[in-house]
Each structure stands twice: as C-alpha cells, then as structure tokens.
A and B are shown apart, each in its own frame.
Chain A
C-alpha cells in the first residue's frame, strides 16, 4: 500500500479515527455536547480529506475499494447528509432523559458503512459496508425513544435485514461458483453463458439489495420502521442509508456487465414497475404521514431503478449513471427536508408543553395526517417548506424533484423503456394526488385549537433545505456540471 493509497482512503480513515476518538471521549466523560462536537468535527474532517483524495483519484485501493469521481461524490453527499442529521438529532435527543452519547457514535459508524459502500467494488467490501450500516441502524432505531413501536420497528428491521444479508451472501456464493471471482468486474458471467445457478445467484443478490432499498415485494418493513424510528434516524436512513445501497447497486450493475443479461434486466424491470405502482397506490391508503412517506420512497426507488437499468447503455455518455445520481441528490434533499418538517412539527419541546408523556402512545401519533390540518394558519413558514417538499416529491417543475424526474424520463427515452415510462406517468399521477391532498389539508381552517404546536419559523436547516430544493429546480446547471465532472473522473 503506497502513500497515495492512504491519501485516497483518507475520508474513510478520518471517519474511523473519529469513531475511536469518540469512544475514548465517552469512556472519559459522558457529555452530550462534547460527543456532538466530536461527531461534527469528524464529518467535517472527512469532508476536508476528500480534497486530497480527489487529487489521486481515480485509483484502485486494494481489490476491495476504488476511489473515483463517482465514489467520492457519493461520499461527499453521504457526509453532508450525516452532517445535516447532527443538529436534527441533537435537538431531538436533548429533550430525552438518559445518556445520549451512543447516538453520535452509531451515526458515525453508519456513515462509515455508507462511505464504504460508495467505494466498494468487491462483494467483501459490499458486505462489510452493508453490515456496518445495518447493525448501527438496529440500535439507532430502537434506543433513543423508549416505547413499544421503536422496539417493534427495530426487531422487524433486524430480522428481515439479517435474512436479506444472508440471501445476498448466498447469491454471491452461487455467482462465485460460476465465475470464480468476488470482484464486481467478472462476478456475473456474460450473457449466454453460465448455468441456471447464475440466474439464481443474480436473483438472490438483487433480492438482498432490493430489501435494503425497500423495493416491492421486499418493502414490508418500510412503513413500520419509518413510523417507529426517531425522526432523525428515519431521515438518515431514507436518504443516506438508501443512497449508499443505490450507489453500490449502480457500481455492481455497471462493472459486472449484468445488464447485458436479459434475466437481470427482467428482474430489475419487474422490481421497478411493481415498486412505482404499488408504492404509490399503498401511499394513497395511508393516514399517517410517516407511513405515507415510506410508501412514497418505495415508489421513488422504483423511478430510480429505471435510471439504474441504463447505467451502461450504449449511446449518450452515461446518461443512466448521471440520471441516477441527480435523482438521488434531488430525492435525498427533498426527503431530508420532509423529515425535517416532521421533526419541526413535533419538536419534543412542543410535546412536553402540551403534556404528552415522552414515549407514550400519544407521543407516537404525531405523524397522523389530521395533525397537519390548518398548518398554514398556525405555522406558515413550516407549512410553506412542507409544500415545497411535497411538490418536489410529486415532481412539479421549478423544484429539485422535477429535475430528477426529467433526467429519469430522458434516460428512459434514450433506452427505449416505454412500458416503464408509462408506469412512471401513472404512478406520478397517483403520487400527485396524495401529495396535493396533504397540501390542501394544510390550507384548511382549523376546527379546534390544537395544543401540539408551538409558534416558530422552522430553523435554518429547514430554510436552507427549502432554498436548496428550489435552487436545484430553477437553476440546476451548476450541480449538473459538478455531477458530470465527477463522473468524468
């Protein structure tokens, strides 16, 4: 391993070092503010380490990782996501009794897992990153909020996630038996070769990853986890957690050449179509905003899969990859914004004021749709931000979500995936319906005064995310140029 290898890995090393420092700091003194400060500093340091890493990229560091533009862009996005989680979670936990220093530690570990996934080019590093991310999440879901529902969510996630990891591992073993390598390049035998074991292995690997992405029919855990987990954890899981898996799936598909095989394309197409349709239809039936966002994420990952189907399509230079990254970015910012609204809406301080015991059943009903009735009259700034996020999720022009959707449509047209695009139109129509219904609910007058609200503007985080969604939607060119520059590496 040369010095350049170490420089290339510096962002990961910074995160790992931060974890160790935080462990020691907690052992020495339990202090929530210190722990958050170390976490923030670690993430910022890792971000700074990306700059020298860019200098030596692209570079294969051991057979396990490749540090290139795509991976580093992913690392930056995930680090920014974790950085945004810090203030959200710190405020969430400030109102809870008991020690909280484990939260930042687990958050750093999960971030390390996500960053590893962004750079992984080998099944071993894939599993390493995936497990690092998942195991940290089990605890993050269950422990901050005491109650039945977080526990239920964590247990469900633990069991299903364990099964999916095993499925993935078994699939990889089958592919290994066929191809004799675990590196992404060469993992999947070329089209027309390989026995039925190849198809089985591919199906198992894709099923394992589809679980993490909550694609239909592997989506059942999603609403429970979104509803039961603390909102900052859900925000992280829905953006960084899923984004990391998207990135590793992208790399797997691009490097293994799996998309040249009709069986892989068929499997992915079915997953995409079913997710777009079922996700949107199930969201239609939900009364809880967190569950609604869960199903909506199922649908959005379905849209994203349309772009992933085209990552190595011939023709335009990597429109599929570019589309997937832009969509991921737009969706990530929007979703994080939506969960920031939920957190803002149900800030613990506000709940304590109106007397709901922390951890009580009532405490967990905050996502109920009816609670959003008349939000425009009570907290116009928060309601406006939520409207922007919902319109972006629905893909209305001048928001980030539209740019993402436009990219997916452009990629789909380029690849000639007309059937999936037709499903996308239908799904978007349904998606629009439930988004607008929520917006409309916020504009209605309030029937009875609700004690669950404190006046407030929503903070700089929410304001910044709202502006970001609009800027990405109105003047996307700088960000698109950045993504293209990263991909050109």
Chain B
C-alpha cells in the first residue's frame, strides 16, 4: 500500500486545510492522525509475493498503469533502504507536528496541509522506481515546501524561499534532461521506451554520453544534499524556515539527495560513476571540511546547524562514491542519524527562537540555568553531531571512514579531519548558547523550560539515536548489501 501512503498524506493535507474551521488544534490533530495512519499502512506493507516476483531485496512493490505512451508506469517499491527512509520521513513528520503544536498562529490548517503534502512527495521519492514518477515526486515535494518557507518563515523568508526553489528546480530540470536522454539511449539500443529503473540499469554503459547523463543526475542530487559549491541555498532556507519546515528540510528533504546518490548513481551508470569518482569525492571531502569550518564561524544558532548539515552530508557522498559495501551502509546510517540529530537541533533552535525571539549566539548564553532540560537535550544532540560513540552518527561516520579508507585513503583522511572540526563547532555552540552568564536576550523574557510535547518529540529522537548507536546491526541487516549492482526487479 505504498500508493495508499502517498494518497493518505495528500488527502490528509486537504482535510487539515479544511479542519481549520473546527477548532484551533484540529489541523494538528488531523496531521498527527494522518501520519499515524500512514505509519500503520507502512507497517502493514509486507507482501511475501513481492520477494518472489521482484527479488529477495524487495519488501513491497506495486505497479500501476500511468502513461503507456512513453512506457511510464507508477512503479513503487521499497527495500531495506526505502523502508528505513520512509519510516524516518513519517517519524520526523510526527515530530515536526508535535514540536510546532502551538507555534503556528496564522492559518494552521494550510500550514499542516503543506507539511503533509511535502511529506507525501518525499515518501513518493523514496518509493518511486520509475524515473518519470521519481522526477514528478521530486518536484511535488518542493512546491509545498516553498510555501511553508515563504508563508510562515522568519524575517527574510521571501528571498530564502525563492533561492531554495530556484536551485532545486534548475537542478531538477537538468535531471529531467538526463532521464530523458538515458531513456532514449535505452530505446535506441533496444527499441523499447521505458522509464523503469530496472530496465535502465547500465543502459548507458559504453555510451560516450554516460558521464554527461550522470552529471545531470549528480547536479540535482548534490544541490539537494547539498554539497559545496551548490550549497548556498541551504543556510538561508534553514534559517528562515519555520521550525517544522527546518526539521523536515534537514531530516527528510536533504536525504532525498543522498537517497538519489545511493539508489541511482552507481546502478544506472556503473562505469561512468567510477570515471567521475575523483571529482565527486573531492566535492564530498570539501563539503565535510568547508561545512564544518563555516559552522564554526556562525553567530546564528540555526546557521550553525545548517552548515553542520553540509559537513555531515559530505560523508554520504564519500560513502557512496567509495564503491565499498561497508562505506555505502555507513552512508545510509549516517543519513538516518543525521536526520534524527539535525531534526532535534532545529527543534531546539526553534524552541529558543519561539521563547526569546532571537537566534543570535551573542544575545544568548546561560540558557542551561534557566531551562536545564533544554540544555541537557542540547548537550545530548550536539554530542551526537560531533560523533560521540554510542550514538547513531558515530556508527555512520565510522563505517564510511572504514569503508572508504580501503578504496580512497586520501579522501578518507581528509574527511576524518571533519570529525575534529565538528567537535569544535558543537562545543562552541553549546558554550555560547547554554553556558556562561545569562545573555542580554534572557534579561527581558522569562524562559519556560521544554513542555511535555517537546520532551516527547525530543525523547523519541534521542531514543532513536541511542538505538542506532548501540544496536546498529538491526538496521544493517535490514539494509543488507544496500543496493547491489544491478538490482533485481519485476519482469517488464
């Protein structure tokens, strides 16, 4: 029932918009209920027949007619990778709703509608195995996210929303060109027009166009990830987005870029991916270092977390383009762990902003004394971000470094420096915001500590990180070899 999940989220968004007139908290309840329903549908999505028909990796799969003119079908399926990311999407969606339960004052119905529609697009991206459908979902999640930032963001929201949309959209159009180019290469070779991922695997092998087509995909994925030098939309979008928007942006939307790299780059272009590995690895290592350094020099709470995301997602690039099974698994674990930890940090940043109306580190300070629970959670999640053993991020980064050191030692050594830098900016953020004497912003306003809803949301995320850090084997088993090349699928 993967299509059911997408449709439930789309419909739930519509209901949330209408629910606004039935009471102040109705949209929030609808949104939460929809996410629970979607999670139940996901839990029920276990079709034993699929494994037999599609291949042992697949947990669930379904296909619908769509546009036979171009050989386009609505082909949806999840393996371990898809399942983990869809689950992460729904979990972070729930956390985002809980965290901003009272934050949204104007048009809460529309706000939660846009939130659910974004999540619907993201779930579609993680399930779609037809490249046309993938592109459609890819674009669909952008439009509501644009409205979330532009409509409910902070002071400079218009510009940030526009920048976000333009970057990702132009990247997406290049990907569309590459998709169509790949499909036509396949047609010229076989005579059949098909957008199915399974049919197109390796279709470009041997073609002089392959590196160019791969580059089209990579631009879209690296913009979304984001990687240096295509990252400049991210700090603005994160800083200006409302809390729930930031959580979903960092936790889910960035993962679509990483997912694209894992799922499509190597299986579709096994040769070209190796040919382009060196420049892409350089981009990954540069992202780790540059993101970390810039995170260290920011004054804005949210910008610190935003730049740290660039650094952490650099590890994903490294893990995918090391072409090593361990590194690839590490990249996926890193995506999940970063989704949880950065979601939590944006949530905390939002909580600070909501209480003190500033994110400026110079104005903060001494928060721990006033709001000890907030401080404790900040310490926990910053420790996760700096890669403390026992938490999920450590597992991801360690596996990436372990795997990539075997094949790409130089890039691995450079990226390992990023771990040092992340300790620096994480501890600096903790000291400037939570330790020391009370900052000027605290002088005027009372600082209520985290309430029950926020504690619940953060507690869930913390538990997830602990589980991922202490019991990584469960997720690693689920991922299996994480998309072997080529991936088996349904018969065309």
Contact = CB atoms under 8 A, between A and B. Distances in A.
A353 B177 CA distance: 50
A398 B136 contact: yes
B139 A425 contact: no
Contacts of A437: 162
A402 B137 CA distance: 13
Contacts of A428: 169-170, 173
Contacts of B165: 432, 436
B94 to A, nearest CB: 26
A413 B158 contact: no
A64 to B, nearest CB: 33
A396 interface: yes
Interface in B154-186: 158, 161-162, 165-166, 169-170, 173-174, 176-177, 180-181, 184
Contacts of B70: 410
A10 B75 CA distance: 46
A301 B256 CA distance: 34
B381 interface: no
Interface string A236-280: 000000000000000000000000000000000000000000000
A481 interface: yes
Contacts of B180: 406, 409-410, 413
A409 B169 contact: no
Given A397-B135, A413-B177, A425-B173, 16 more contacts: A396-B139, A396-B143, A397-B140, A410-B180, A425-B170, A426-B170, A429-B169, A429-B170, A429-B173, A432-B169, A443-B147, A475-B66, A477-B66, A477-B67, A477-B68, A484-B69
Interface residues of B, number: 29
A38 interface: no
Given A398-B140, A406-B176, A425-B174, A480 B161 contact: no
Nearest to B139: A397
B147 A476 contact: no
B425 interface: no
Nearest to B147: A443
Interface in A385-443: 391, 396-398, 402, 406, 409-410, 413-414, 421, 425-426, 428-429, 432-433, 436-437, 440, 443
A242 to B, nearest CB: 25
15 contacts: A396-B139, A396-B143, A397-B139, A398-B136, A409-B180, A410-B70, A425-B170, A429-B173, A432-B165, A432-B166, A437-B162, A440-B162, A477-B65, A477-B68, A484-B69
A437 B140 CA distance: 18
A227 to B, nearest CB: 26
Interface string B92-114: 00000000000000000000000
A433 B140 CA distance: 17
A484 to B, nearest CB: 7
B151 interface: yes
B136 A409 contact: no
Contacts of B161: 440
B306 interface: no
Contacts of A484: 69
A480 B69 contact: yes
Main secondary structure on A side of the interface with B: helix
B150 interface: yes
A440 B150 contact: yes
A220 to B, nearest CB: 29
Interface in A443-489: 443, 475-477, 480-481, 484
Interface in B259-302: none
Main secondary structure on B side of the interface with A: helix
A83 to B, nearest CB: 28
Contact of B162 (A410, A413, A421, A433): A433
A33 to B, nearest CB: 39
B67 A476 contact: yes
A396 B138 CA distance: 11
A436 B161 CA distance: 10
B178 to A, nearest CB: 10
Contacts of B146: 436
Nearest to A410: B180
A397 B144 CA distance: 13
Nearest to A391: B143
B150 A443 contact: yes
Contacts of A413: 177, 180-181, 184
Which among B151, B158, B166, B176 has the greatest number of chain A C-beta atoms within 10 A?
B176
Interface in A42-92: none
Contacts of B177: 409, 413, 421, 425
A379 B70 CA distance: 39
B136 A397 contact: yes
Which among B65, B68, B139, B174 has the greatest number of chain A C-beta atoms within 10 A?
B139
A159 to B, nearest CB: 39
Contacts of A477: 65-69
A480 B170 CA distance: 27
Contacts of A409: 176-177, 180
Contacts of A481: 69
Contact of A429 (B65, B67, B135, B166): B166
Contacts of B184: 410, 413-414
Which among B65, B136, B173 has the greatest number of chain A C-beta atoms within 10 A?
B173
Nearest to B142: A396
Contacts of B147: 443
Contacts of B66: 475, 477
Which among A397, A402, A436 has the greatest number of chain B C-beta atoms within 10 A?
A397
Interface string A135-161: 000000000000000000000000000
Contacts of B173: 425, 428-429
A477 B165 CA distance: 29
When A and B form their complex, which 6 residue pairs have the shortest distance between CB atoms, in order from nearest? Answer: A397-B136, A429-B170, A397-B139, A413-B180, A425-B173, A480-B69
A222 B180 CA distance: 33
Nearest to B70: A410
A480 B162 contact: no
A373 to B, nearest CB: 13
Which among A410, A428, A480, A484 has the greatest number of chain B C-beta atoms within 10 A?
A410
Contacts of A398: 136, 140
Contacts of A429: 166, 169-170, 173
A426 B140 CA distance: 20
B158 A440 contact: yes
A469 B241 CA distance: 30
B478 to A, nearest CB: 31
Nearest to B66: A477
A480 B193 CA distance: 16
Contacts of A443: 147, 150-151
Contacts of B169: 428-429, 432
A110 B135 CA distance: 41
A410 B72 CA distance: 13
Contacts of B181: 413
Nearest to B151: A443
A437 B158 CA distance: 9
A438 to B, nearest CB: 12
Nearest to B106: A445
B52 to A, nearest CB: 30
Nearest to A430: B166
Contacts of A414: 184
A92 B12 CA distance: 39
A426 B136 CA distance: 19
A484 B184 CA distance: 20
Contacts of A410: 70, 180, 184
B115 to A, nearest CB: 16
A437 B150 CA distance: 10
A320 to B, nearest CB: 14
Contacts of A476: 67
Contacts of A406: 176, 180
A52 B272 CA distance: 56
B456 to A, nearest CB: 32
Nearest to B157: A440
A421 B67 CA distance: 23
A430 B13 CA distance: 30
